[in-house]
Amino acid sequence: MRIKNRKRFYIMIGLLCVVIFLLLVVSFGMIWTAFSNNSSAQSDSSTVSNGSVQGNRTQETSTSDPTEVTDQSDTMVLVNKSTSLDKNYVSSDLVWVDLRGVRETQLRQEAADALKNLFKEADSKAITLYCCSGYRSYETQQELYQENVKTYGQKQADLVSAKPGQSEHQTGLAMDVTAESVNLDLDESFGETTEGQFVKNNAYKYGFIIRYQEDKTAITGYAYEPWHLRYVGKDAATTIYEKDITLEEYLKN
C-alpha cells in the first residue's frame, strides 16, 4: 500500500470507529432508559415522587412518600396511603383477644374490651361473629404485601393491601371479622349477610367503624372491606356512622 493510500485508509478506519462508538452509545442509552422505566413501574410509591412515571397511576397510589404519624399510640391515629407508622412501632398494651376466632390474634386492651361487648350483643341476637385478624407486625405486612404483588400485580395489590407501615392492623386498633355464612373468609359479600349488616349498624355503639366503606375508595384509597373494623372510640364512631363519612373526612373537620 502506498503512503497516500495508507493515510486515507487510516482516516477511514478512524471514522468507522467513531461511527461504531456513537452507535454503541445511542443503543446503550436506549436500553438503559427502557430498563429504568420498567423497574420504577415495578417498585412502590417511593418512586412516584420523582415524577418520572406518569400517566398510568391511579388515585389509590399516593403521589408522595408517606409522612410518619406523630402520635402513633393515639386511638384516633390516621394510618393510610399518605401516612405511615414506624417500622418498630408496637403498641405497649396489646392483649390476646379472648373471643371466637379463626386464629389467635391480638388487639390493644381498649379495643379488645370494646370488641368483646360488640360480640356479646351479637351473641344475644344469635349472630355468630368470628375474629379473623387483628394486630399485624411490620414484618407480617411486608410478607403479605409482597405475596399480593406477586399474585395480583402492583396495582391490584395496592388496592387490597397496605404497604408495610401503612396498615391499620399495626396500630392494634383494627380487627377483621367474619362469619360462617361467608366460610370464615374475608369477602365483600359479608356486607350483605345478617352478620355483616349487624356489624355495619351496631359497631359504632362500641367505638368501631367500618373503615373502608363502599364507594369511598377515592378517599380511603382502599376497596370496600365490610369486615375491617377500626376502633376510634364511641364519640368519633357515632359521628362517623351517623354522618356516613370516613375517618379521613372526620379528622379534617
Size of the site for Zn ion (CB under 5 A): 2
* List 110, 168, 225, 242, catalytic entry: 225
Q: Which is nearer to Zn ion, 11 or 139 (CB)?
A: 139
Looking at the Cβ atoms of 48 and 207, the one nearer to Zn ion is 207
Shortest CB 21 distance to Zn ion, Å: 57
HEC string of the chain equals CCHHHHHHHHHHHHHHHHHHHHHHHHHHHHHHHHHHHHHHHHCCHHHHHHCCCCCCCCCCCCCCCCEECCCCCCCCCCCECCEECCCCCCCCCEEECCCCECCCCEEEHHHHHHHHHHHHHHHHCCCCCEEEECCCCHHHHHHHHHHHHHHHCHHHHHHHCCCCCCCHHHHCCEEEEECHHHCCCCCHHHHHCHHHHHHHHHHHHHCEEEEECCCCHHHHCCCCEEEEEEECCHHHHHHHHHHCCCHHHHHHC
Q: Cβ distance 103 to 133 under 8 Å?
A: yes
Q: Which amino acid is at 123?
A: D
Is 139 in the active site? no
Stretch that binds Zn ion, among 25-33, 73-81, 117-125, 174-182 (CB under 5 A): 174-182
Q: Which of 228, 241, 245, 247 binds Zn ion (CB under 5 A)?
A: 228
The site map against Zn ion for 176-205 (x = CB under 5 A) is x-----------------------------
- Of 9-17, 19-27, 141-149, 221-229, the segment contacting Zn ion by CB under 5 A is 221-229
- Using the minimum distance from each CB to Zn ion, give the nearer residue, 168 or 236: 168
Residue span binding Zn ion (CB under 5 A) among the ranges 111-119, 149-157, 191-199, 223-231? 223-231
User: Contact region for Zn ion (CB under 5 A) — 86-94, 123-131, 156-164, 169-177?
Assistant: 169-177
Q: Which is nearer to Zn ion, 176 or 195 (CB)?
A: 176
Whose Cβ is closer to Zn ion: residue 48's or residue 203's? 203
List of residues contacting Zn ion (CB under 5 A): 176, 228
- Catalytic residue numbers read 225
